[in-house]
Structure 1
Amino acid sequence: MKKIVINGGRPLQGEVTISGAKNSVVALIPAIILADEVVTLDGVPDISDVASLIDIMEVMGAKVKRYEDSLEIDPSQVKNMPMPYGKINSLRASYYFYGSLLGRFGQATVGLPGGCDLGPRPIDLHLKAFEAMGAKMSYEGNAMHLATDQAGLHGAVIYMDTVSVGATINTMLAAVKAKGRTIIENAAREPEIIDVATLLNNMGAHIRGAGTDIITIEGVDKLHGTRHQVIPDRIEAGTYIALAAAVGKGIQINNVLYEHLEGFLAKLEEMGVRMTVSEDSVYVEEQANLKAINIKTAPYPGFATDLQQPLTPLLLKAKGQGTIIDTIYEKRVNHVAELAKMSGQIKTDKNKIIYQGPNDLQGAAVKATDLRAGAALVIAGLLAQGQTQISNIEFILRGYSNIIEKLTQLGADIRLVED
């Protein structure tokens, strides 16, 4: 077991560069199965989810080479084989293998997805889309089996009952080689969807409308190799911007796409955070006199559910009372009890988070309950007086590339230790 140990209360200063988007790359790697030739991804983050996906691809027969932040994958020898156990069960994003394997082979047997426990996260919308395109679903032990008849997948008009990033991407993966036209209505609009569509189009797919609520896909017979730059991680960027506002004496965050963070940055401005937004960076000044605000998460371009937890420690510095309501994941409140251990005036009322500030946080032994809760505890530990020890850090390492090194370069007293 490993822990992150932080001696807090030190102001941070300097520059940090944001890595490629976790929520893109976990879909981009399975998407490469659809190609017949080598595909290279640049800007791949150094996170455990990527390592797990590489292991899965190699088990399936892909040849993978890694060069610093680039990933070269030759999927030409990938075999359609059952994948019910192992790395599959640790990843939420493993469900993207349903769409990519269906698209290439017309069938898939994949274990049920894992990931963070954020409450009900059904994949019924994915299955509805696959069935509309001609796939039949059955269970084989702890795995789900999807298969088509000899005619294979065909185009369909698919209405998403709720906006879902995962279901939108998975439907695109299955549809790019399906016969005819597929139309996804009420599609999610997140930047990661545009990123996946860009890769697929560069491989020879015909996808229009990504980034809008109607996506049209004309099926093609083959997809070829390409080279693709992964977009910057907007959630990592938001996390470091919140961290800079909480404990910084002037921090510049590089490789940021402002248009991906407009809802988040608007809320920081409402708090009184002083920052300068440039074309591809954000400079955050040392802060004073922040005021409490209310936050309600929403699908993109609203306030991202993934950013409400990393923002919470900064909110605890603000004067007054505020609330956080997460409309996407009802169990995204598990960080509250851990922050309360650090003397934070914060509680839950059903699914609403209520906080009062300002607070003088104190170091404590706390536990990361999911990826973004872990990020919140890292920021809280940097803010707090004394030592903070964070356990369950496997969650944090799933999504934040080189977090210890990046924070150390900013002046943090932070280290990874064996328990």
Structure 2
Amino acid sequence: MDELRIRGGHRLQGTVSVSGAKNAALPIMAATLAIPGRTILHNFPRLRDTNSMIQLLTQFGVAVEFLDDHTIALESSAVSTCRADYELVRTMRASVCVLGPLLASQGEACVSLPGGCNIGHRPIDLHLKGLSALGAEIVIDQGYIHASARELRGAEIYLSGPQGSTVTGTCNVMSAAVLSRGRTIIQAAACEPEVIDLGNFLNACGAQITGLGTSTLTIDGVRELQAVEYTIIPDRIEAATWMMAAGITDGDLTIEGVRDDHLTAAIETLRTAGLAIDLQDETARVRRAGDLQPLDVVALPFPGFPTDLQAQLTAMMCLASGTSVVTDRVFPDRFLHAAELLRMGAKIRRESSGVIIEGVNELSGACVMASDLRASAALVLAGLAARGETVISRIYHLDRGYEDLAGKLSRLDADVERQKGGRPNTPQFAGAPTPSASKTSSKG
């Protein structure tokens, strides 16, 4: 199992490019199950999660071809099965996004329940509620969702739960409703940029969706969709992670692929914390304007501060000059990284759905373990700023959402090395061209 060794104390400097958005790519890939023909996706992120989705789509009979490092073609004209087995679904919760497209295009779907999750309870009851409202008959048996419908019919659907709107649930129901008969109105729809990107993709394919970016979506069903070429949006979470990397190392980064309209709350929060962020077109220059300032931040659904940045912000606030409070209202239990940061000298106290952080003068390197994707990123940030060497194990979590992270860090003057397992920084895919080799250690 690979680990990442980081020798901290180096200021990050240079230019880094943000990859395509994982959380947009996955539901778009799933949606191609309902689109006959050859779909071409540009700005495709090369990640463990997208590779898992490729394996799942291949199982359904989708032909996959890489046209270059970040362009993929998906030919979905001959779907051969409607079953998504547990062994594939358990590796990635977003696999459940195939449920809506399969149901709409094939009239049936058999998809394994995704199981538990390290960041908290994440039921899919709202997915099933929405699909049932469209006319699907759903039975759960032996850990599988069996869904069937002779015809899906438009309906009015309310998709909010105890933790607010459901992002993947909105994607699933929207992907089914576009091929339903009549009009569907989704109330309390998720407003995240990744949901908008899926909607824009479906509209490009011939769907009729209005209200994207608001909590009310109106979808007039169409008889069929057509394959298109489409460019996936840049990953806002990766972009903001790089901003915090500049902040925690007192660095100076130019970040390419930044959609400031996707990061309004995050950018305002980071500026309050003492980061100078200059935006032009889709490029941001980020450096520290002085000492890191403490914050009181609550992670909320979009357009609020993203829960997917909560762990990284917690790491950065460990070095702020004062006491910070970070609360997560989306996933209140998403603080497994706090215990690992304590091992590095942080002063963090868990309180209800958040943490209280007393800033310290420095962190010290330690052996730590990643528990999930964003916790992994938080430990990387802490390691970059820490005195001495940090060794992060279970970094396969990082591969799920950060493309070639060690290589990108090396090129920004970080002292990092990926060790053990012989796996390259960017996971390789069957049929994919091999990316050019990248350096994974810059200081030896």
Range that drifts further, 282-291 or 58-67 = 282-291
- Cα displacement string for residues 256-298 of structure 1 (whole angstroms, at most 9, x for unaligned residues): 0011101011111212212212221111124422210111011
Which string of whole-angstrom CA distances, capped at 9 and with x for unpartnered residues, describes residues 206-253 of structure 1?
111111111011111111110000001000001010111111431111
- Partner SS for 1:375: helix
Partner residue, 1:391:
393
Query: 1:118–1:147: structure 2 CA closer, same or farther, 3 Å change rule?
Result: same
- Which consecutive aligned stretches of 4+ in structure 1 deviate over 4 angstroms post-superposition? none
Distance 1:288 1:7 in 2: 23
Query: 1:175 offset after TM fit, Å?
Result: 0.5
Secondary structure class of the residue paired with 1:225:
coil
Partner of 1:147: 148
For the pair 1:85 / 2:86, whether they are aligned, the reply is yes
Please state whether the residue corresponding to 1:127 is helix, strand or coil.
Answer: helix
Q: What is the aligned partner in structure 2 of residue 218 from structure 1? A: 220
2:136 equivalent in structure 1: 135
User: What is residue 124 of structure 2 aligned with on the other side?
Assistant: 123
> 1:389, CA displacement in angstroms?
0.7
The answer to whether structure 1 residue 353 and structure 2 residue 355 are counterparts is: yes
Q: CA offsets, 1:284-324, max 9 Å, x none?
A: 12442221011101111011100111122221121111111
Query: Which residue pairs with 2:427 in the alignment?
Result: none
Structure 1 counterpart of 2:206: 204
Q: Distance in 1 between matches of 2:300 and 2:138?
A: 31
Residue 166 of structure 1 aligns with which residue? 168
Check conservation: 2:157, 2:185, Cα contact below 8 A: yes
Q: Deviations over 1:149-187 (max 9, x none)?
A: x3x111000012331111111110110111111100111
* TM-score, with length taken from structure 2: 0.92
Cross-structure match for 2:197: 195
Deviation string for 1:352-405 (max 9, x for gaps)? 201011331000010111100000000111111111111111111101011111
TM-score (norm 1): 0.97
* Conserved 8 A contact 1:343-1:361: yes
Q: In the alignment, which residue of structure 1 is the partner of 2:286? A: 284
For the 8 Å contact 2:267–2:277, the answer to whether it is kept is no
Corresponding residue for 1:252? 254
Shift of 1:139: 2.1
**How far apart are the structure 1 equivalents of 2:71 and 2:250?**
31
Structure 2 residue corresponding to 1:240, chosen from 239, 242, 251: 242
Cross-structure match for 2:33: 33
What is the distance in 2 between the residues matched to 1:289 and 1:226?
48
1:16 is paired with a residue of what secondary structure? strand
Q: Following TM superposition, by how much is the alpha carbon of 1:205 offset from its aligned partner in structure 2, in angstroms? A: 0.8
1:31-110 to structure 2, matched below 5 A, reads 31-66=31-66, 67-110=68-111
**CA–CA separation in structure 1 for the residues paired with 2:116 and 2:44:** 20
Count of equivalent residues: 417
Gaps of 5+ in 2: 422-444
Q: 5+ unaligned residues in a row in structure 1: which ranges?
A: none
Q: Describe the SS at the equivalent of 1:72.
A: strand
- The equivalent residue for 2:407 is 405
| Alignment partners' CA distance in 2, 1:249 and 1:325 | 27
User: What amino acid is aligned across from residue 8 of structure 2 in structure 1?
Assistant: G
Paired position in structure 2 for 1:333: 335
Output the aligned Cα RMSD.
1.2
Partners of 1:248 and 1:117 in 2: CA distance:
31
Give, as a single letter, the amino acid of the residue that structure 2 aligns with 1:128: K
Contact kept in structure 1, 2:116 and 2:122, CA below 8 Å? no
Structure 1 Cα separation of the partners of residues 361 and 25 of structure 2: 37
